[in-house]
């Protein structure tokens, strides 16, 4: 059994803490808000994000970041991607130098357009950064909390560390596959959120299944082009962190990004939608970064382009769709 810190007590961090606690690990769950942390520790409830589920006794909730991560064998980062530098950059000051960091956040760095592994290389000592691993795949938090079977992928560049983390954290209902394609896993996990907002827009506009599936398929082609341009293996995007996560996020009712798109398609304003949300929809910020990254790489990515225009430049949703439909037709493999 392992000592694990889970840094971030939103729905996904809480469900991972439940999963690891049920498996017999000793878990410290860090929650930014002291009042929320005290209530979760006292009542064992996670009503704000995962109503109806309770934390196992082996999970301790705290708002003290130092005590949460100090001496832990595994540190699982589940903060929104824009908070990685500030939170984990602080936590590393007291982390064990042999700690294995497992990233479960999805996104790209807005300022530098960097993938999360590159952010890790900036904030962590070389030993921790080189041995870091990256978790991604088609998993909704409420279903993990309920104990339903799921499969996910863990990426890393150090084979020994990767196998150690895989074997330690795999459980009966949480099957972890491993890969060395860190870039592919991170790009798939980040960019599928942009496509999911677009899929929600299509559903909100009433376009039906044909349109949604067309958008998902062409969206996967864009994700693959961008990933391969950065050095990813194309086969990764046919796997759990590519197609698997994309299908789930574009079609599942629990998808925050899809819900943003649904609301936009039904005529709500972005400011109103974000004000009503309890958690971050990463695809909103990622749309801007994805568009800038595709432009920098010289990769054709029309879906990323129109989603950026719709989310950050204010063009109407129907106009965004019309821009896509008006493009010249070409070869599917281009």
Catalytic residues: 192
Q: Are 80 and 103 contacting, i.e. CB atoms less than 8 angstroms apart?
A: no
What residues are paired with 154 via a beta bridge? 135, 178
Helix, strand and coil percent figures for the chain, each rounded to 5: 55, 15, 35
Q: Are 103 and 187 contacting, i.e. CB atoms less than 8 angstroms apart?
A: no
Spatial distance between the Cα atoms of 252 and 197, rounded to a whole number of angstroms: 12
DSSP characters for 154-214? Answer: EEES-HHHHHHHHHHH-BTTEEEEEES-HHHHHHHHHHHHHHHHHHHHHHHTT--HHHHHH
Q: What φ, ψ does residue 152 adopt, rounded to 5°?
A: -145, 170
* Location of structure tokens 């803490």: 17
Instruction: For residue 259, give the 3-state DSSP assignment.
Output: helix
Cα 80 → chain centroid: 8
222-241: burial string, b at 16+ Cβ within 10 Å, e else: bbbbbbbbeebbeebbebbb
Q: What φ, ψ does residue 329 adopt, rounded to 5°?
A: -80, 155
Spatial distance between the Cα atoms of 8 and 37, rounded to a whole number of angstroms: 11
Which secondary-structure segment (H or E) carries 77?
strand 74-77
Q: Are 95 and 4 contacting, i.e. CB atoms less than 8 angstroms apart?
A: no
What radius of gyration do the chain's Cα atoms show?
Answer: 19
Given CA atoms 66, 68, 69, 75 in this order, what sign does their dihedral have?
A: negative
């Amino acid at each position: 059994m392992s000592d694990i810190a889970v840094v971030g007590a939103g729905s996904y961090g809480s469900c991972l803490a439940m999963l690891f606690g049920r498996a017999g690990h000793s878990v410290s769950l860090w929650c930014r808000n002291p009042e929320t942390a005290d209530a979760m520790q006292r009542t064992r409830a996670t009503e704000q994000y995962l109503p109806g589920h309770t934390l196992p006794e082996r999970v301790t909730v705290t708002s003290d970041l130092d005590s949460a991560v100090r001496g832990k064998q595994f540190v699982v980062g589940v903060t929104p991607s824009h908070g990685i530098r500030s939170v984990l950059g602080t936590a590393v000051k007291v982390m064990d130098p042999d700690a294995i960091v497992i990233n479960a956040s999805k996104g790209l760095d807005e300022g530098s357009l960097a993938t999360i592994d590159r952010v890790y290389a900036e904030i962590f000592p070389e030993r921790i950064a080189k041995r870091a691993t990256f978790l991604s795949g088609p998993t909704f938090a409420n279903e993990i909390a309920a104990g339903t079977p799921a499969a996910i992928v863990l990426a890393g560049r150090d084979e020994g560390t990767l196998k150690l983390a895989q074997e330690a954290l795999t459980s009966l209902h949480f099957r972890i596959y491993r890969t060395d394609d860190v870039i592919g896993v991170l790009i798939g996990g980040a960019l599928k959120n942009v496509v999911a907002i677009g899929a929600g827009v299509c559903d909100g506009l009433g376009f039906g299944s044909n349109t949604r599936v067309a958008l998902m398929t062409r969206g996967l082609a864009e994700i693959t082009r961008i990933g391969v341009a950065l050095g990813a293996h194309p086969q990764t995007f046919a796997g759990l962190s590519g197609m698997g996560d994309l299908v789930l996020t574009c079609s599942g009712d629990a998808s925050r990004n899809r819900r943003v798109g649904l609301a936009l398609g039904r005529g709500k304003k972005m400011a109103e939608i974000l004000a009503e949300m309890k958690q971050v929809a990463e695809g909103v910020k990622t749309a801007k970064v994805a568009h800038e990254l595709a432009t920098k790489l010289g990769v054709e990515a029309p879906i990323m382009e129109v989603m950026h225009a719709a989310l950050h430049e204010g063009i109407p949703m129907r106009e965004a769709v019309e821009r896509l439909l008006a493009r010249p037709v070409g070869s599917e493999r281009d």
